[in-house]
Amino acid sequence: MTLFDLALKNIRRNLKSYSLYIGSTIFSIVIYFTFVTLKYSEDISVLAETSKQISGIMSASAFVLMIFVAIFIAYSNSFFMKKRKKEVALYSLLGVRKRSIGFLLFFENMMIGLLSLVVGVGLGFLLSRVLLTILMKLMGLDIVIGFAFSMDAVVNTFIVFFIIFLFTSMQGYRVIYQFKLIDLFHAEKKGEELPKARLISAILGVATLAAAYWLALQDLMTSPIWRMLSLAMPIVIIALTVIGSALIFSSVLVYVLSVMKKQERWAWKGLNLMTASQLLYRIRGNAKTLTIIATLSATTITAGGAVFGLYYNAEKDVQTYTPYTFMWEGAPQDINPDIIEHAETIKSKTLRIEQDINEMEYAVINQSTFEKLAKNLEWSDIQVANEGEVLMIDAFYDQRWSQREESVMIDGAEFAVAKLYDKAVFNTFTLGASAIVVTDQLYSEIKADEKTYQAVKVEDYKNQFALSEELAASTENFSSATQDYKASIEATGSLLFVGSFLGLVFLVATGSIIFFKMMTEAEEDKAKYAVLHKIGVSRREMRRTIRNQVGVIFAAPLVLGLIHAAVALTAFSNLFMMDLLVPVIIWMLAYTVIYTIYYFATVRSFNKTIQQD
């Protein structure tokens, strides 16, 4: 029998234990290939010409995905190798040379790799069709997707994964050469010391995290710390968060569990003792993994929440700066009167007003025009400018860096600013974001050129492409909410797609990492549960302790990740003055639901493993 036969037989016989590893490699390939296909897709490149962000986002994301996939495969591979140490030890014991075993593993891994590549590319091809359709839908486009098979994507995927597999196969060699026979037989360490709980590092952990949160919530503009650290600030925050998370797992949780274990009233009841001591081992041993998962979850939730928030707010954004569907300079145009909700003719003069050192240009409208416009937009806080007063409109006003004017000089006379509106009463693109509302009398006295504008609000503004194009061609200084909405939804739609796609991949990966970990431990804990069974612990109670143990392992990084993300998103929404509450909660719920499915799957498999006799 040649080594080749042995390798082939090996795979065929151990298909079950291989399936987990093969499954995760195929998954990685499907994901990567799908994404690359989308990147190279002709439909997308046509789009890329119109919305330029897409190709940039796609390229950057493909790179992130590549690194991530490499780490994920390396992780599953090391998990897989750990499981097979005994088998390797047996070969070694029977006198097979290390070189031959190494070659066997290398060869076997390359075979699995090639097989997964073929299957993965096939599945990825199908999946990319589905995802492309979803992407188009999110971007609000109606394009029929062709069945284009991208050779570039195939080549790209093959090269990337060939390198990854070459690398993981080398790892196999390393395992063989690094360990002595005796180590191979005792792959899992026995009699590990119970972690000691140190109060100081527990306190340090909480303090580090609190510091990170506090820094993150500092105002970008006013905080002296931002001025001091400037660009290093985000790095400091991220570093503190990661260190804090690590300490939370390795010290704070350990400390809490130790204290609980010492509470005889609680601990000496049923299997609580068992749950606590198992968790103590598990959390200390897995602190690194849990930290990675918490960080990964936080990143996914933050990025996804932010992107989803942008998408969710796209319409609001458009309406803020383009409140009227169409606005242009010049005479009224012929528009079907059935769809018109409001149509106003606006007369405006332009004034240049000196303020401190700058000279600002303002569009000036009179009080009655302002009232008409504002009423159409259903404003509730319409104020009247009295003698000697003006109202100011600054759509871009931001109290953190905009200067608030108390008065303005018009034609040598000073007028008090009675009210400042930080929202636009007409489309900012056509008439500018800054405007002054003056009394009708003052308006007529101002000596400046007067221009005429038309502002129209129509029904169902999102779908008036034809009208929008028509008007754009025949008017000057044209602004269109229809166009803006389309552009915004295209850009944020693709962002949302990429964000959710990567988010989903990260989620599956974090779920799988915990799953792998727990399954390894289930295998190691089998004997313990056999003892419990003999002592007279019912299956029901065993299932309960497993539910609790797995629950803590799943919940701890999720909760921490959610809190991290909540802080990060609060900072984000403060910075961009956006209300993200609703989209972020939707996003977090979605994340938690999928994560919970993983939890139940893990508990199920754990129970199955320990009940095998």
Partner 1 sequence: MEPLLVVQDVEKIYGKGANTFKALEHISFEIDHGEFVGVMGPSGAGKSTLLNVLATIDSPTHGDILIGHDNIAKMKEEALADFRRDHLGFIFQDYNLLDSLTVRENILLPLAIAKKPAAEIRERVDTIARTFGITPLLDKYPYQISGGQKQRTAASRALVSNPKLIFADEPTGALDSKSAADLLESLSKLNDEHEATIMMVTHDAYAASFCRRILFIKDGQLSKEIFRGTKTRKEFFQMILAELAQIGGDVHDVI
188 and 86 in contact (C-beta within 8 Å)?
no
Which listed residue (22, 70, 237, 274) binds partner 1 by CB under 8 A? Answer: 274
Nearer to partner 1, 412 or 536 (CB): 536
3-state secondary structure 322-383: CCCCEEEECCCCCCCCCCEEEEEEEEEEEEEEEECCEEEEEEEEEHHHHHHHHHHCCCCCCC
Q: Whole-number minimum distance, CB 261 to partner 1, in Å?
A: 9
Which listed residue (271, 446, 563, 586) binds partner 1 by CB under 8 A? Answer: 271
Given the rule CB under 8 A, which of 65-73, 206-214, 264-272, 471-479 is the region that contacts partner 1?
264-272
With the C-alpha atoms ordered 67, 72, 78, 81, is the resulting torsion angle positive or negative? negative
Q: Show the binding pattern over residues 310-329: x = contacts partner 1 (CB under 8 A), - = does not.
A: --------------------
The tokens for 518 are: 């727990």
What is the spatial distance between Cα 418 and Cα 426, in angstroms, rounded to a whole number?
20
What is the spatial distance between Cα 152 and Cα 317, in angstroms, rounded to a whole number?
38
Which listed residue (44, 62, 65, 280) binds partner 1 by CB under 8 A? Answer: 280
355 and 405 in contact (C-beta within 8 Å)?
yes
Nearer to partner 1, 194 or 221 (CB): 194
What is the spatial distance between Cα 237 and Cα 217, in angstroms, rounded to a whole number?
10
- Rule CB under 8 A: which of 579-598 touch partner 1? none
- Rule CB under 8 A: which of 527-546 touch partner 1? 527-528, 530-541
Does position 130 interact with partner 1 (CB under 8 A)? The reply is no
Nearer to partner 1, 139 or 276 (CB): 276
Does position 384 interact with partner 1 (CB under 8 A)? The reply is no
Which listed residue (99, 174, 227, 269) binds partner 1 by CB under 8 A? Answer: 269
With CB under 8 A as the rule, give the number of residues binding partner 1: 33
Which listed residue (25, 109, 245, 278) binds partner 1 by CB under 8 A? Answer: 278
Nearer to partner 1, 189 or 352 (CB): 189
Does position 257 interact with partner 1 (CB under 8 A)? The reply is no
Helix (H) / strand (E) element for 261: namely helix 254-262
Residue type, 277: S
Q: Whole-number minimum distance, CB 190 to partner 1, in Å?
A: 7
Nearer to partner 1, 532 or 568 (CB): 532
Tokens 């390198």 correspond to 163
Nearer to partner 1, 532 or 562 (CB): 532
Reference 136, options 32, 41, 28; nearest CA is: 41
Tokens 């639901």 correspond to 593
Q: Whole-number minimum distance, CB 267 to partner 1, in Å?
A: 8
What is the spatial distance between Cα 502 and Cα 34, in angstroms, rounded to a whole number?
12
Nearer to partner 1, 19 or 538 (CB): 538
Q: Whole-number minimum distance, CB 274 to partner 1, in Å?
A: 7
Does position 273 interact with partner 1 (CB under 8 A)? The reply is yes
Query: Partners of 408 in the beta sheet?
Result: 415
Distances (CA, A) of 182 to 93, 187, 347: 10, 9, 91
Which listed residue (4, 268, 576, 600) binds partner 1 by CB under 8 A? Answer: 268
Which listed residue (277, 319, 350, 611) binds partner 1 by CB under 8 A? Answer: 277
Does position 211 interact with partner 1 (CB under 8 A)? The reply is no
Given the rule CB under 8 A, which of 270-278, 365-373, 374-382, 453-461 is the region that contacts partner 1?
270-278
Given the rule CB under 8 A, which of 166-174, 313-321, 404-412, 522-530 is the region that contacts partner 1?
522-530
Which listed residue (193, 334, 378, 476) binds partner 1 by CB under 8 A? Answer: 193
Does position 412 interact with partner 1 (CB under 8 A)? The reply is no
Nearer to partner 1, 233 or 518 (CB): 518
Does position 601 interact with partner 1 (CB under 8 A)? The reply is no
What is the spatial distance between Cα 71 and Cα 44, in angstroms, rounded to a whole number?
28
Nearer to partner 1, 115 or 537 (CB): 537
Reference 519, options 8, 79, 107; nearest CA is: 79
349 and 448 in contact (C-beta within 8 Å)?
yes
Q: Whole-number minimum distance, CB 250 to partner 1, in Å?
A: 17
User: Checking DSSP bridges between strand 326-329 and strand 450-458, what pairing results, if any?
Assistant: antiparallel
Which listed residue (265, 401, 412, 449) binds partner 1 by CB under 8 A? Answer: 265
Given the rule CB under 8 A, which of 8-16, 81-89, 122-130, 263-271 is the region that contacts partner 1?
263-271
Does position 191 interact with partner 1 (CB under 8 A)? The reply is yes
Sorted by sequence, the CB contacts under 8 Å of residue 34 that are 6+ apart come out as 124, 127, 128, 131
Does position 352 interact with partner 1 (CB under 8 A)? The reply is no
50 and 163 in contact (C-beta within 8 Å)?
no
What is the spatial distance between Cα 63 and Cα 437, in angstroms, rounded to a whole number?
52
Does position 186 interact with partner 1 (CB under 8 A)? The reply is no
What is the spatial distance between Cα 416 and Cα 436, in angstroms, rounded to a whole number?
11
Sorted by sequence, the CB contacts under 8 Å of residue 349 that are 6+ apart come out as 363, 364, 443, 446, 448, 449, 450, 451
Q: Whole-number minimum distance, CB 485 to partner 1, in Å?
A: 60
* Interface positions with partner 1 (CB under 8 A): 190-194, 264-265, 267-274, 277-278, 280-281, 527-528, 530-541
